[in-house]
Structure 1
Amino acid sequence: MGMFRSLHIHNYRVWFFGALVSNIGTWMQRTAQDWLVYDILTDQDAAAMGIVMALQLGPQLLVAPWAGLIADSVDRRKLLIITQLSMAALGVGLGLMVVLGVAELWHVYAFALALGFVSAVDAPARQTFVSELVRDDYLPNAVALNSASFNGARMVGPAVAGLLTVAVGPGWVFMINALTFGAMIFVLMTIRRSELRVLEKSPPGKGRIREGFRYVRNRPDLMMVMLAIFIVGTFGLNFAVYIAAMARTEFNSGAGVFGVLSSVMAVGSVAG
């Protein structure tokens, strides 16, 4: 089917399924981390949960332009191996502290901030690496499948995390997430490098970030897209805080219901 034509390309196919496993693990950790802060380390403190989210997502606002510059200048495959290993190590570190019962709120803050910086470097490299896997006429389809993979993982990961948090605790969910990064690292190590597209790297020089901002400023269509993303990101992506509070205070339920409610949010995205 034309809808899945990019999956006929070997490198993209293994990338897609590796990313799916890794994304499921990422959503599992986010859900377990939110519940750890909201219901275990604090007395249902939604503000603390919001701080964790801000620490984890804030670095992308600050670091993203320089991260994009790095992704344009280096071997993206090698950069992704480094970022995936770093995120796996952070998952193991926080997981061990929670399992051993020594984790405190400030520890989660520190790990969330560190993960935010690594994710900020990882995101532009991961998103642009797709252009090395498929040719230009397949790129829109590959990007759409990437979005479906991300939201499909968002539909599965939180529900699994909620059940596992009840069964074995959030620490083990972090450890499982660290293992899921192994799928992406394996893909990056074994991908057929001879079949990757060789794309021209951006020439070195000063002022490239300013040029990027100038380019966006002169494109009203891109300005509108970024404005829409800013509004949705600022006012519409705080649902994790509300869902956790509703699961505990309105429905008098635990991590399992929180996970299921978080997963239901993704159904519409996958259908779209």
Structure 2
Amino acid sequence: MTFASPPASGRLHQQADFVLFLVARLAAVLAMQMQAVVVAWQVYDRTGDPLALAWAGLAQFIPMLLLLLPAGDLVDRYSRKRLMMASVAVMALCSALLLWASRAPLAAVYAVLALFGAGRAFLSPSLSSLLPQIVPRERLPQAISVNAMVMKFATISGPLLGGLLYAVSGEVVYAVCCAAFVLSVLTLIPLRVRYAEPPAAGESRAVQRFFAGIRFIRTRPIILGAISLDLFAVLLGGVVALLPVYASEVLDVGSTGLGVLRSAVAVGALVMGLYLSLRPLQRRVGRTMFVAVAVFGVANLVFSLSHWFWLSAAMMLLAGAADMISVNVRMTLIQLATPDAMRGRVNAVNMLFIGSSNELGEFRAGTFASAAGTVTAAVGGSLATLAVVGLWAKVFPVLRKVDRFDDVEARPVAGGH
């Protein structure tokens, strides 16, 4: 890993390295979102079987699940910039292979998707760990907000762009995705990584290094509280998986209304991300996170009981905004409370937990709704989120009492909650 002096302070848009980082990430995420739409459509079009879509998702998720912890270790031991470039290059290769596999047996598509999932396992921790090496510490909360906003923009526009290009042909989409991944790699070449700490000594065994991130999080109540609060809020209280049922059976607004509801979540997050990038949180950040998760639970609860479309859409907008605040505080606390030599492994654990909460949360919502009814499932999950907020406020008072982001360095790193 390279060592140099920290970057000079200044406005984020005036820092060329941060701009290069954003462009590289935007290109990569846009390509990922476009490709996901085309893969799902082609797999279902070839089979007509929803189970084939589940296998496609599983083909990507299992390599990520297995490789995230080893990836986090490599991110802490080698150049994060080079690992990020290598992972994006693998994704570019996968786009090219998917162009061929779209006419090959379905097993070939699943094999390419598995390779793509392996590339994503290395991309997530390297991305998150690289950002603090690009911007100065005092600008990190603002940088995380801008980064999250760019991600949300890509998440919204990527599927739309992919759908429009697919009207031309699937081959065109894969070619564009491959070009976008290559652009991301090329953009990273001139990016300067300003500083890094050496990896921790005394962890020679691979298994010890892999699980060091989990051990570190267990002894840091601020990080453990922030990750677990977000984990259980999404796992128990998310209603996005139930939106098609609400649009069809509860609100009776059809596919158009479903699009509005899903867009409302993204728009709320995007607007809040823009606000936080202009006016970063300064005080009572711990309490703000708890309030944001509580608002997320209340918004989902009102949505669960609503039969008025305009109120439901407003609640999804509010839930998206509240979730963005929670994500911003969580990611900033994790970055500032983690030494650079541990960031890769800690970010890998964070990605593992958050990714699992999204997947398992959708599974929980679907199975609960099937067994007890859609409204009952949504209301129960929302109430569970509010219960988690109250319980976590008691179990993790050190997180609740964090005033400024810079305070986290002064907090005890071991001991009780």
Q: How far, CA to CA, are the matches of 2:159 and 2:264 in structure 1?
A: 9
Q: In the alignment, which residue of structure 2 is the partner of 1:42?
A: 47
After superposing the two structures, state which structure 1 stretch, 102-111 or 83-92, moved more: 102-111
Which of 200, 204, 208 aligns to 2:197? It is 200
Q: What's the CA shift string for 1:201-244, capped at 9, x where partnerless? A: 2135232333322222233443343334544369859849969x
Which gives a bigger RCO, structure 1 or 2 (Cα 8 Å, sep 6+)? 1
Provide the aligned C-alpha RMSD in A: 3.1
Q: TM-score, normalised by structure 1?
A: 0.80
Q: Which one-letter code corresponds to 2:181 in the other structure?
A: F
Shift of 1:159: 0.7
Q: How far, CA to CA, are the matches of 2:30 and 2:239 in structure 1?
A: 18
Distance 1:235 1:87, change over 3 A: farther
Q: What's the CA shift string for 1:92-130, capped at 9, x where partnerless? A: 1111332xxx23322221111111111101211111111
Q: In the alignment, which residue of structure 1 is the partner of 2:93?
A: 89
SS at match of 1:190: coil
Q: How far, CA to CA, are the matches of 2:123 and 2:85 in structure 1?
A: 9
**Equivalent residues in 2 for 1:1-272 (5 A)?**
5-38=11-44, 40-43=45-48, 45-98=49-102, 102-165=103-166, 167-191=167-191, 193=192, 196-203=193-200, 205-206=204-205, 207-231=208-232, 232=234, 236=238, 239=241, 266-272=266-272
CA contact 2:243–2:258 (8 Å) conserved in 1: no
CA contact 2:244–2:258 (8 Å) conserved in 1: no
Q: TM-score, normalised by structure 2?
A: 0.54
Q: How far, CA to CA, are the matches of 2:129 and 2:76 in structure 1?
A: 9
Tell me the number of residue pairs that the alignment of Structure 1 and Structure 2 aligns: 252
CA contact 1:155–1:264 (8 Å) conserved in 2: no
Q: How far, CA to CA, are the matches of 2:89 and 2:24 in structure 1?
A: 14
Q: How far, CA to CA, are the matches of 1:235 and 1:104 in structure 2?
A: 39
Larger Rg: 2
Q: Which one-letter code corresponds to 1:41 in the other structure?
A: R
Q: How far, CA to CA, are the matches of 2:242 and 2:168 in structure 1?
A: 22
Q: How far, CA to CA, are the matches of 2:113 and 2:22 in structure 1?
A: 26
SS at match of 2:74: helix
Q: Which one-letter code corresponds to 1:67 in the other structure?
A: A
Shift of 1:76: 1.4
Query: Any gaps of 5 or more consecutive residues in structure 1?
Result: none
Distance 1:58 1:226, change over 3 A: farther
